[in-house]
Structure 1
Amino acid sequence: MGPPVINLDKPRYDQGTYMGRAKHFLLLTNPLNCLATDAELDEAKKIVSDFKKTKRMPPGYDEEKLWRTKYLYDSAFHPDTGEKMMAIGRMSAQAPMNTLITGGMITFYKSTAATIFWQWINQTFNAVVNYTNRSGDAPMPKSQLIASYCAACGGALSTALFLNSKVKNMPPIFSRLVPFAAVCGANFINIPMMRSSELINGTPIFTADGQRVGNSKVAARTGISLVIVSRVIMALPGMTLTPILTNMAIRRGLFCHYPMMAIPFQLVLVGICVTFATPLCCALFSQTAAISAAKVDPELKDIVKAKFYKHKEFYYNKGL
Structure 2
Amino acid sequence: MTELLGYNTGSKMSIDIDKPRYDQNTYMGRAKHFLLLTNPLNTLASDAQLDEAKAVVDAFRKTRQLPSGYDEDKLWKMKYLYDSAFHPDTGEKMVVIGRMAAQAPMNTIITGGLICFYKTTAATVFWQWINQTFNAVVNYTNRSGDAPISKTQLLASYCCACGGALSTALYLNSRVKNMNPVYARLVPFAAVCGANFINIPMMRSNELKIGTPVSTIDGERIGDSKRAAAVGISLVCISRVLMALPGMIITPLITNAATKAGWFRRFPRAVVPFQVSLVGACVTFATPFACALFPQTAALPTAWLEPELREKAKEKKVDHVYFNKGL
TM-score normalized by the length of structure 1: 0.97
Q: Distance in 2 between matches of 1:72 and 1:25?
A: 12
Q: Distance in 2 between matches of 1:133 and 1:280?
A: 17
User: Among 320, 323, 327, which residue is 1:313 paired with?
Assistant: 320
The reply to whether residue 153 of structure 1 matches residue 180 of structure 2 is no
Q: Distance in 2 between matches of 1:228 and 1:210?
A: 26
Q: Distance in 2 between matches of 1:57 and 1:230?
A: 36
CA deviation profile, 1:9-48 (whole Å, cap 9, x unmatched): 1000000000000000000000000000011001100000
Q: What is the aligned partner in structure 1 of residue 91 from structure 2?
A: 82
Query: 1:1-320 to 2 correspondence within 5 Å?
Result: 5-306=14-315, 308=316, 310-320=317-327
Q: Distance in 1 between matches of 2:105 and 2:131?
A: 13
Give the % identical residues. Answer: 70
CA deviation profile, 1:219-271 (whole Å, cap 9, x unmatched): 00000000001011111000000001111111111111111111110111000
Q: Secondary structure at the match of 2:265?
A: coil
Q: How far is the alpha carbon of 1:312 from its aligned partner?
A: 1.5
Q: Distance in 2 between matches of 1:207 and 1:302?
A: 13
Q: Structure 1: 5+ residue runs without aligned partners?
A: none
CA deviation profile, 1:45-78 (whole Å, cap 9, x unmatched): 0000000110111111111111000000000000
Q: Secondary structure at the match of 2:145?
A: coil
Q: How far is the alpha carbon of 1:4 from its aligned partner?
A: 6.8
Q: Secondary structure at the match of 1:291?
A: strand
Q: Distance in 1 between matches of 2:14 and 2:262?
A: 60
Q: Structure 2: 5+ residue runs without aligned partners?
A: 1-10
CA deviation profile, 1:261-307 (whole Å, cap 9, x unmatched): 1111011100000000000000000010011122211232232334x
Structure 2 residue identity aligned to 1:252: A
Q: Distance in 1 between matches of 2:311 and 2:318?
A: 13
Q: Distance in 2 between matches of 1:167 and 1:211?
A: 53
Q: Distance in 2 between matches of 1:247 and 1:302?
A: 57
Structure 1 residue identity aligned to 2:321: F
**CA RMSD for the aligned pairs?**
1.1
Q: Distance in 2 between matches of 1:269 and 1:238?
A: 7
Structure 2 residue identity aligned to 1:32: L
Q: Distance in 2 between matches of 1:15 and 1:4?
A: 21
Q: Distance in 2 between matches of 1:168 and 1:15?
A: 46
Q: Distance in 2 between matches of 1:255 and 1:209?
A: 59
Q: Distance in 1 between matches of 2:249 and 2:270?
A: 19
Q: Distance in 1 between matches of 2:213 and 2:246?
A: 33
Q: What is the aligned partner in structure 1 of residue 8 from structure 2?
A: none
Q: Distance in 2 between matches of 1:154 and 1:240?
A: 23
Q: Secondary structure at the match of 1:213?
A: strand
Structure 1 pair 20/4, CA: closer, same or farther in 2 (3 Å)? farther
Tell me if structure 1 keeps the 8 A contact 2:13–2:65. no
CA deviation profile, 1:173-208 (whole Å, cap 9, x unmatched): 110000000000101100000000001111000111
Q: Distance in 2 between matches of 1:311 and 1:49?
A: 30
